[in-house]
A and B are shown apart, each in its own frame.
Chain A
Amino acid sequence: DTGVSQNPRHKITKRGQNVTFRCDPISEHNRLYWYRQTLGQGPEFLTYFQNEAQLEKSRLLSDRFSAERPKGSFSTLEIQRTEQGDSAMYLCASSLVGQKNSPLHFGNGTRLTVT
């Protein structure tokens, strides 16, 4: 169990540019979540996948954001035309559905800074 892995750890971009983050969940986990965390706040839910299907999206996920999990394993989160308000830590988590108790396990996040 290598844990949830996220890349890159840090990303600095200029306003208007597109960025893409990657998440590799714990290998046998079939659910994958994306959260966003701003300074001084707890993580806020963005979206989640069960296998390759995206089953829920938060209202926080504007149409500039898109997430994919094409083969039900790793996932990508893309932000188009970044804005300064997109600056945050983007956290990925995974869990296993089917076990009675399967809490979310988080990666170390990608910190995005939009200048």
Chain B
Amino acid sequence: GQQLNQSPQSMFIQEGEDVSMNCTSSSIFNTWLWYKQDPGEGPVLLIALYKAGELTSNGRLTAQFGITRKDSFLNISASIPSDVGIYFCAGQPQGSARQLTFGSGTQLTVLP
């Protein structure tokens, strides 16, 4: 089952606004990844984080690997309509070099 708590579940924002979402875990993760999924498509990798405290940007997206290694956040600045979709965090638990555990997703809606 899921081990990650992702919030919020859904967000409605105006175009141009900034967005923030986060994931927390009760256990330590070695890797945090953020994916975006459009309807009927597979998840697309946005940002990968490999070290505690790491802050990484990809265009208007910024993500951080929490210092405790139990959390991560994703920020989207100046949102645009094509940002609509479901955003998933995914983590690789300590001791598991193989599989990812996913959060339940944040559904983002951008209003014009």
Contact = CB atoms under 8 A, between A and B. Distances in A.
A4 interface: yes
Contacts of A40: 104-105
Given A48-B98, A55-B98, A101-B50, A42 B42 contact: no
Interface in B32-58: 33, 35, 40-45, 48, 50
B104 A103 contact: no
Nearest to A10: B40
Interface in A56-98: 56, 58, 91, 93
A14 to B, nearest CB: 23
B98 A108 contact: no
Contact of A44 (B33, B45, B102, B105): B102
A109 interface: yes
Given A103-B33, A104-B100, A108-B40, A42 B45 contact: no
Contact of A56 (B40, B88, B99): B99
A4 B99 contact: no
Given A42-B102, A42-B105, A56-B98, A107 B42 contact: yes
Interface of B: 1-2, 4, 6, 31, 33, 35, 40-45, 48, 50, 88, 90, 98-105
B27 to A, nearest CB: 15
B42 A103 contact: no
Given A106-B43, A107-B42, A42 B88 contact: yes
A58 B96 CA distance: 13
A55 B98 CA distance: 9
B7 to A, nearest CB: 13
Contacts of A4: 42
Of all A-B residue pairs in the complex, the 5 with the closest CB atoms, nearest first, are A42-B102, A106-B42, A45-B99, A108-B42, A103-B48
A103 B105 contact: no
Contact of B99 (A6, A48, A109): A48
A91 B42 contact: yes
Interface string A27-50: 000010100000011111100100
